[in-house]
Amino acid sequence: MRSQWRLAGALVAGALLVTGCGGGGGDQAASDGKVNLTFWDWDPNMDKVVAIWNQAHPDIHVTLSNPAGGDQLVSKMITAHEAGNGPDIAKVEYQSLPALVAKGVVTDITQYTGDAVKDFDDNTLKATKFEGKVYGVPQDVAPLMLFYRTDIFDQYGLKPPTTWDEFAQTAQQLHDKAPSVAMTNFDAADPGWFTGLMQQGGADWWSASGTTWKVAINSAASKKVADYWQGLVTAGTVAKNPSFSPQWNKQMNEGQIATWISGAWAPAQLGGIAPNTKGKWAVAPLPAWTAGDKTTGIWGGSATTVTADSKHAAQAAQFASWLNTDDKAVTAQIQNINVYPAATSGRSLPILSSPPAFFPNQANYYDLVKQVAPSSHSFSMWGPNVTVTFSGYTDKFGAALQNNTSFAAALDDIQNATVADMKKLGFTVS
């Protein structure tokens, strides 16, 4: 039986064919004086957490900046690395880490994180560990959940759906009663939520046996999910605009969208997206394909990485370890960013007995996340060219939405583009 480590090893083996080197680099002895580190991160209120570090560590100062979020930050990291001016530290979503390892953008920090990694279970740590080497300290886990407006559901006599059939029925009921209010939106700009839905639906986009890869983006499981959402779009019960866009923010703030399928980190984001809706949201498990099935996917979940451009890898790794294992740091992240911590010890912190500030009416918020998290299902592994796959999602699903063409055909196109790129890079694909 293949192990996760052998699968990860296959990834890095393939990566070495591409890069011709072992990655890493930039690890030099610390200077005698004060060390200044740069940190790229898009979390709201992360500055409050960094301030705690800077106050307690006068010899290692961290300067935070937010040049972009998610996939856009990955692109900026690659560009900065090619120019030799990347940051010391960066937040990276788990699905993007293999590509950054393959390109040599992030560095091996195994030698600096021996104590920190003891605070994570194997299932969490495997997302940041390749060929036995640690390339990031896990920050959070992000099971996909259903966030819904309690006031809108109450106003129109709706109940939170527990299955996808119920979700479609509820969407139609809402559309019949309030045509100007969409059940949710279909986001063709950010593939994170959609891959989470695919994972819940049983798709497994990448797998490997030895050094031979299998890509199954257009599998039957994937097309089942795609066809379902095309049905909602065709029925006109969901909006067709990207999350985090100005239009979507306005709709969310003005009650024109009733639910958001998102990760457990959503409450902190909603404060900026829809500030007028504080106290009007609740969270429920993601609707299931089969009644009673607790399986969900993930959207995001991130690690704190050290880049190959850093001249102070030891100090950068020290910060990454502190950020994600120190009780004070993790408590501050839960309080200000609403992460559900990846560290085992972090999941027992007293702060988790209080709801996020934006969800004052749901006292059991973190209890529910804790119940759902063990049923989170991701792909066996993420592909080495996930950026190509995600770019394909944006292009093909964006076009399908605009032209009312087939979502399943979009998956075929993404499959073909991903496989062609992997072969071009030197990977063997069955």
Cα–Cα distance, 279 to 356 (Å, whole number): 10
Residue 424 vs residues 51, 269, 417: alpha-carbon distances, Å: 45, 38, 10
Report helix, strand and coil shares of the chain as percent, to nearest 5: 50, 15, 35
Write down the pTM of the prediction.
0.84
- The pLDDT assigned to 385 comes to 87
Q: pLDDT-based confidence at 139, cuts 50/70/90?
A: very high
For the residues 4-20, what does the mean pLDDT come to? 37
Query: Residue 381: which H helix or E strand, with range?
Result: none
Find tokens 């969901």 and name the residue: 238
Residues in the chain, overall count: 430
- Neighbouring C-alpha atoms within 13 Å toward the C-beta of 352: 18
pLDDT of residue 14: 40
Give every CB contact of residue 24 below 8 A, 6+ residues apart in sequence. Answer: 104, 107, 108, 308
Place of tokens 């195994």: 110
Question: What is the rounded distance in angstroms from the CA atom of residue 202 to the CA atom of residue 230?
Answer: 18
- Is 17's pLDDT higher than 50? no
pLDDT of residue 18: 35
- Over range 342-361, report the average pLDDT: 94
Q: Note whether 8 and 130 are within 8 A (CB).
A: yes
Across the chain, what does the average pLDDT equal?
91
The DSSP string of 28-48 is -PPPSS-EEEEEE---TTHHH
Give 64-75 as a DSSP string.
Answer: EE-S--HHHHHH
Q: Confidence class of residue 32 from pLDDT cuts 50, 70 and 90?
A: low
Using pLDDT thresholds of 50, 70 and 90, give the confidence band for residue 21.
very low
Structure tokens at 5: 């480590």
CA 311 from centroid of its chain's CA atoms: 28
Tokens representing residue 363 in the block: 């006292």
User: What tens digit of pLDDT does each residue of 387-403 get?
Assistant: 899 999 999 999 999 99
Q: Are 65 and 114 in contact (CB under 8 A)?
A: no
Per-residue confidence (pLDDT) for residue 381, from 0 to 100: 86
**110-120: buried (b, 16+ CB within 10 Å) or exposed (e) per residue?**
eebbeebbebb
Using CA atoms, how far residue 135 sits from 42, 127, 238, 381, 398, in Å, is 19, 9, 39, 15, 33
Share of the chain above pLDDT 70, in %: 93
Q: Could you tell me which of 353, 294, 342 has the C-alpha nearest to residue 144? A: 294
Residue 69: pLDDT band (50, 70, 90) is confident
Q: Which of 2-6, 108-112, 364-368 has the lowest mean pLDDT?
A: 2-6
* Choice between 146 and 68, residue whose per-residue pLDDT is larger: 146
* pLDDT score, position 384: 85
CB 372 within 8 A of CB 299: no
The pLDDT value given to residue 31: 53
| Contact present, 377 and 418 (Cβ < 8 Å) | no
| CA–CA separation, 147 and 264 (whole Å) | 9
Cβ atoms of 161 and 167 closer than 8 Å: yes
Best CA proximity match to 326, nearest among 50, 88, 89: 50
Domains, the chain: 35-141+300-348 (3.40.190.10), 144-298+378-429 (3.40.190.10)
- Tokens 């790129």 map to which residue? 421
Single-letter code of the amino acid located at 374: P
Which residue bears the tokens 């030099």? 28
Q: What is the pLDDT of residue 122?
A: 87
Weakest-pLDDT range from 11-25, 62-76, 256-270, 278-292? 11-25
The string of pLDDT tens digits covering residues 262-321 is 998 899 899 999 999 999 999 999 999 999 999 999 998 899 999 999 999 999 999 999
**Residue 10 confidence (pLDDT) above 90:** no
Confidence of residue 20 (pLDDT cuts 50, 70, 90): very low
DSSP-derived secondary structure for 401-425: HHHT--HHHHHHHHHHHHHHHHHHH
